[in-house]
Structure 1
Amino acid sequence: MIAPALPDADLRDLNTLHLPARAARLQPVDDATDLPSLTEALLQRGERILVLGGGSNIVFAADFPGTVLQMRTRGIELLAHDGCTVRVAVAVGENWHDWVGHALDQGWYGLENLALIPGTVGAAPVQNIGAYGVELVDRLERVEAWDMQDRRWLDLTVADCAMSYRDSVFKRRLAGRAIITRVVFRLSTRPEVRADYADLQRELAACGVTSPTPRDVFDAVCAVRRAKLPDPAVIGNAGSFFRNPVLPADEAARLLAAHPDAPHYPATDGAVKFAAAWFIDRCGWKGTRRGDAGVHDRQALVLVNHGQATADQLLKLAADIQASVRERFGVDIEPEPLIVG
């Protein structure tokens, strides 16, 4: 049975920045098979539709004058056990961190580096989430979705998802039309540890761990993230507010000639990825506060709402940060969250 829609719904507690916003209607979705009839009815009425998961990667810059679909579907299904790998389908409403912990408990390895990333499973393919040397695309098999425009179910392979750094087909060709319903993962039953990032190495060394297990990596990732990043339940934030810029080889060489200490990492096709937090920090923004909008004092990538910040205040702060980085380093940094309104 489809849950009733809530009119004039308050969205403040449904976005982790806790920005004030309302939706004309909030429609909970507990069963993905309801999507065809639900979306068809909304589109026939000329409704605008916004899909919302955990609200951890969104900025409500204004009220939403349509229907917000709140994806609350649950379920984890083991599809196959193929020797040293498993294939597992996870409903989009599952909490991401809880799913990572569950997989680890089952002896399904490969997601440990992505622990404690806020949000739901459904948001993970949109952003191609990544942390500490692992990206979702490395563990993904396929994505199931409902296409509102073509009125058909989609079963997308990794290639179909066209994933790159913090990008996918869901932010491009399928943006605003595909509603992800399940994500299928391919994980290993044999421990595959990736712990070569400096922060993880320091945390593991501090714990006296010399031969880390997947559980050790999971615990280290959680400890590092808790030390550096604010809890959205305590102080409003959307995680990393800016993407790390990826520069072509020639531009990267010029930047490194002028700033050889800039942290950087190899990317695809000879490009170079730089740490946006380093640029922001060098421009003096870490710990800045304007009213209740601010920059976190331990991680310059994170913009925070100290209580009563408005979207206008937060976005003005973000724009000023972008302008200062561009002026000093000649580098454009782009916001990572979806800005609505």
Structure 2
Amino acid sequence: MIQPDVDLQPFNTMTIAARARYFCAATTLEELREALSFAQEQQLPILPLGGGSNIVLTGDFPGLALHIGLQGLSFESLSDGVRIRAAAGENWHQLVMRSVESGYGGLENLALIPGNIGAAPIQNIGAYGVELKDSFEQLTAMEVASGNLVTFSAEECQFGYRDSLFKNAGKDRYLICEVVLKLRAEWRPQASYPALQQYFEERGLAVDSLTPSQVAGAVIDIRNSKLPNPVEIPNAGSFFKNPLVNGSQYARLKAQHPQLVAFAAGEHWKLAAGWLIDQAGWRGFRRDGVGVHDRQALVLVNPGHCCGRQVVALAEDIARDVQQKFGVTLEAEPRFYP
């Protein structure tokens, strides 16, 4: 059902108050098609909504806010592992925990990432050395212009660091409906990230003896220790990507800042954006109800339920300061609407 003039504050984890000219909660493919037809007839832009954890509403939305609530989750046993089919409206963390509890490894490092499954391929979500593309098989999306379903392989999705086809050439052209993952029976824990190494060393646990459940538990403990729960403190998760720099720029920064936190990423180096923001003095900063989390500088928080323009203004000030101090450009992870 198409509803006029709907408050979007309950549908974004930043709890930004903004209104949509029209709103539709679609739980079936046919409802999705009907909503797209309505938008085309009225010549309306579309705002896809899932868990609402990766958007910043900078004002009222003049089109159709489309909440994609497709449900369905299945596990198919294979000779060499398991295939998981998940509808876009399923919760990502719940999928991770169900796979872990079933004894399947591969997703445990991605535990507690907020949001729904439909958004996961758009960002190529990743954490602690693992990305979605590592277990991705294919997805099905609905073409906005026609309502037709299209299947995309991993190669066709053009995955990169927090990037995919759906943020570039495919932006605003498709609505992701189903994601298919494959977890292999042969599993080795990925515990090379320093935070994970320290966690297991402190507990006397050998990496080779770990189970997927133990790795997921570690990730959950670490994330809970430094990241705010959006239910308690409104936020959109990690607000900035970890910037990639070439070898010469990394060497220069490392010489100037010996404590620089960075990770090798092929021919480039991935800098810890949170470290840069922290060193620039922004951690714990507050301004008119918005601010930077006091335990993780990568997270912008909105405890005052302020408007999106205030959040964006703070993000721009932080990025400008980091650029001036380090010569490094920060790029926001959430998408701004409108």
Q: Is the structural similarity TM-score above 0.5?
A: yes
AA aligned opposite 2:233: I
Q: Does 1:133 align with 2:129?
A: yes
Which residue number in structure 2 is paired with residue 7 of structure 1? 4
Q: Does 1:299 align with 2:292?
A: no
2:325 aligns with 328
Q: Secondary structure at the match of 1:252?
A: helix
CA shift, 1:82, in A, is 2.7
Give the superposition deviation at 1:24.
1.0
CA distance in 2, matches of 1:10, 1:285: 31
Contact 1:235 1:307 in 2 (8 A): no
Is the 8 Å Cα contact of residues 23 and 63 (structure 1) preserved in structure 2? yes
TM-score scaled by structure 2?
0.96
Map of 2:86 onto structure 1: 90
Partner of 2:211: 213
1:122 is aligned with what amino acid? Answer: G
User: For structure 1, which segment, 170-179 or 32-41, has the greater mean C-alpha deviation from structure 2 after superposition?
Assistant: 32-41
Report if aligned partners of 1:204, 1:216 keep a CA contact under 8 Å in 2.
no
Partners of 1:32 and 1:100 in 2: CA distance = 24
Query: Counterpart of 1:308?
Result: 305
Q: Check whether the contact 1:204–1:212 (CA below 8 A) recurs between aligned residues.
A: no
Matches within 5 A, 1:75-86: 75-78=72-75, 80-86=76-82
Residues 80-110 of structure 1, C-alpha deviations (whole Å, 9 max, x = no match): 4331221111000001000101111222220
Tell me if the contact between 1:191 and 1:213 (Cα under 8 Å) persists in the aligned partners.
Answer: no
Which position in structure 2 is the counterpart of 1:119? 115
Q: Do structure 1's residue 42 and structure 2's residue 36 form an aligned pair?
A: no
Alpha-carbon deviations, 1:226-273, whole Å to 9, x = none? 0010000000000100111001223223222322321111123x1111
Summarize deviations over 1:58-99 as a string: whole Å, max 9, x none: 000011011111011111123x43312211110000010001
5+ unaligned residues in a row in structure 2: which ranges? none
Q: Is residue 2:171 matched to residue 1:187? A: no
Find the partner of 2:62 among 62, 65, 85.
65
1:179 aligned partner, one-letter code: L
Q: What pairs with 1:225-236 in structure 2 (closer than 5 Å)?
A: 225-236=223-234
| 1:161-210 deviation per Cα after TM superposition (whole angstroms, max 9, x unaligned) | 00100110000111111000000001123443111222122223344433
**Residue 281 of structure 1 corresponds to which residue in structure 2?**
278
Percent of aligned pairs sharing the same letter: 43
- Contact 2:59–2:307 (Cα < 8 Å) also in 1: no
Q: What code does the residue aligned with 1:89 have?
A: R
Structure 2 residue identity aligned to 1:220: A
2:140·2:149 contact (CA, 8 Å) conserved in 1?
A: yes
1:248 correspondence with 2:246? yes
Q: TM-score, normalised by structure 1?
A: 0.95
Which amino acid letter does the alignment assign opposite residue 108 of structure 1?
Y
Q: Is it true that 1:172 corresponds to 2:160 in the alignment?
A: no
Residue 145, structure 1, aligned to residue 141, structure 2: yes
**Partner-residue secondary structure (3-state), 1:44:** helix
CA–CA distance in structure 1, aligned partners of residues 5 and 32 of structure 2: 21
1:259-270 equivalences in 2 (<5 Å): 259-268=257-266, 270=267
Shift of 1:325: 0.5
Question: Shift of residue 329 of structure 1?
Answer: 0.6
The count of aligned residue pairs is 336
Residues in 2 aligned to 1:300 and 1:172: alpha-carbon distance in whole angstroms: 28
| More displaced stretch, 4-13 vs 86-95 | 4-13
AA aligned opposite 1:274: L
What CA deviation, in whole Å up to 9, does each residue of 1:29-48 have, x standing for no partner?
A: 10124333331232122111
Deviates more, 1:173-182 or 1:244-253: 244-253
Structure 1 residues 123-176: Cα deviation after superposition (integer angstroms, max 9, x where no partner): 100000000010000010011101113543210000000010011000011111
Letter in 1 for 2:264: P
1:91–1:182 Cα contact (<8 Å) kept: yes
Name the CA distance, whole Å, in 1 between partners of 2:39 and 2:314.
36
CA distance in 2, matches of 1:203, 1:258: 29
SS in 2 for 1:255: helix
CA distance in 1, matches of 2:196, 2:297: 19
Q: Residue 220 of structure 2 aligns to which amino acid in structure 1?
A: C
Secondary structure class of the residue paired with 1:300 = coil
Aligned to 1:204: 200
Verify: 1:25 aligned to 2:22, yes or no. Answer: yes
Residue 54 (str. 1) matches residue 71 (str. 2): no
* Shift in CA distance, 41/314, structure 1 to aligned 2, threshold 3 Å: closer
Cα drift, residue 326 of structure 1: 0.6
Q: Which runs of 5+ in 1 are unaligned?
A: none
C-alpha distance in 2, partners of 1:59/1:247? 27
Name the Cα RMSD after superposition.
Answer: 1.4
Residues of 2 paired with 1:136 and 1:119: CA distance?
14
Corresponding position of 1:258: 256
